[in-house]
Chain A
Amino acid sequence: MIRKELRQRMRERRGWLLPSLYLVVLGAVVTFAYFLTTTERGATGIQGSTVGVVLFLTLAYSQLALLLMLVPIFSAGSITIEKEQRTLASLLTSLLTSGQIWWGKFVSSLLFVLLLLVTSLPVLSMAFAFGGIGPWEVFSATLTTIIILACMSAIGLYCSSAFQRSVHATAVSYATVVAISVVTAIAFFVRLTMYESAHRQATVGHSWYDIPLSIRAPMYVNPFFFLTASFAPPKQLYPAWSTCACVFITLGALAIVLTLRNLRRRAEV
């Protein structure tokens, strides 16, 4: 199943077009960040490690944003395409189990996104050249990005199993990406502002944990906050990272259960 999926993906035009575009955009963003940093601070007074950190952070956030935009393309159409080309009935009446079908689709869509992650390594090496970034930062940021992408792939596959048409599944997947990335951030900042103006206390903002949990809660499903948590020193933000990881893994697991249920129902085949 995985071999078939990967073979089909690599034969599509987007198999080479998307990685190319991805690298071009990522390269452009990092180059822009480099010139912005060096121009602002002046060519003489700048520390190499500062440039390295700026480039690394720019790369990590840009990469996450781009991959979040690409995940629905690979996952949300994965099962609906079988429905559209009427091959799902043949798969379900073969000896492949629903779990094997899901696993094949999941691994192939995730592997393709991971391929993009790997192709960005040369761009990442630019940040290394300036220093200021250690292996731990790279590891934690990469691990966090992979958890987020795996969860979003699982959600995309759920959408794919729930809808008949790829266009609908992809639209709902994108809506989910926007909801967790943008809507949660807006909800957080609006409620924080309201809370601060109501209390007018200096304590708010000193520490993440001084903010009431009811206000913080939406940010635990925000992928950019999750990534931010991975950069913080372990003692300071480690609990937040763990909470985010639990939330994303739970969301992903829920999506898996619902997808398998949809595949086993089979009524829409």
Chain B
Amino acid sequence: MIDVEQMSKSFDGTRALDGFTLHVGTGELFGLVGPNGAGKTTLMKVLSTLLPMDSGTAQIDGLNVNGQAREIKRRIGYLPDQPGVYQDMSVREFLEFFADAFQLTGARQRAAVERALERSSLTDRSRNSVEQLSFGMKQRLVLAKTLLHDPKVLLLDEPATGLDPLARIELREQLKQLQAEGITMLISSHILSDLEDICTQIALIGSGRNATDAEGRSVLQLRAPQAPVRIYEIDVLGDSAPAVAVVNSTAGARTLETSAGRLVVEIAGADEQVAALLRTLVVGGVNILRFDHRTLGLEERYRMVFREGRP
């Protein structure tokens, strides 16, 4: 549904996107993570036709983003990172205005507005001024506005920023519901726990390029079964320095973190490598108290990719 190939975009000589590639399948809820300045917002703006790209290709639903902007706009709903509202309009007026802007008229407009009010749970407040709504309600209203014309694809740039925990939970549920309705979504966010909860896959972006984890993956599978991540926690008796030396001298193994009596170790390869490392540690005289496989959460995987500066 979304196909980006070698996309590049520069601003005054600074490369915001540098050959970024991304493929999002139909109906997926796809996350996009990376540090500030990684190029997430630029990617969203290019896909939403707000910015032209310098080179590369981008297609949404088979349409070229650069050349078929008007058709693209019919298919996408874009929620900017800091969405604005017209404070002096009523909730209904706000929705009617954007329904007009998407060329929805007459009965279609009324139906779309009623549906948007229901989706945002603002039916009771439709006559209220937008100014009177809480931040979370405004965010719901803007998301409902984004859905007015029934887009096939949603581009959501930091949709949960500034929301309180309850509003974030509601947003997650709403996004899951939209996915169930068949809408494809690309979401950039810094709130990794939210992405982990709702996304099927997550793309890593750093310095405008596809970032990769230790195993060379630029897209992390969150829902589909995947190869085990071979990270182990090892508790040792006494000084951990000898254990670190053994780990780092073993082929395919390296120490990620060290603290008093504890190591976090990354092991590349199959079970044989894990067994070999354990044997080497024991033979090397390390007193092992615990040797435990650890499944990494998104937060930890993110930290490993971006703290180590591995774009």
Contacts and interface: CB of A to CB of B under 8 A. Distances in A.
B286 interface: no
A91 B78 CA distance: 11
A95 interface: yes
A86 B80 contact: yes
B306 interface: no
B102 A86 contact: no
Interface residues of A, number: 22
Contact of A269 (B45, B76, B142, B145): B45
Contacts, number: 64
Interface in B259-308: none
Taking chain A's interface residues, is the majority helix, strand, or loop, or is none over half, making it mixed?
loop
Given A4-B97, A269-B45, A269-B50, A94 B102 contact: yes
A82 B83 CA distance: 11
A262 B220 CA distance: 39
B49 interface: yes
Interface in A79-138: 82, 85-96
B135 interface: no
B89 A85 contact: no
Contacts of B78: 89-90, 93
A17 interface: no
Nearest to A100: B101
Interface residues of B, number: 28
B86 A85 contact: yes
Interface string B68-93: 00100110101010111111110001
Contacts of B89: 4, 7-8
B55 interface: no
A235 interface: no
B51 interface: yes
A93 B87 contact: no
Interface string B32-62: 0000000000000100111100000000000
A267 B52 CA distance: 9
Contact of B145 (A4, A90, A266): A90
A11 B88 contact: yes
Nearest to B148: A94
25 contacts: A4-B97, A7-B93, A85-B84, A85-B86, A85-B87, A86-B80, A86-B84, A87-B84, A87-B85, A88-B84, A89-B48, A90-B98, A90-B145, A91-B101, A92-B49, A93-B49, A93-B76, A94-B73, A94-B102, A95-B70, A95-B73, A95-B102, A96-B101, A269-B45, A269-B50
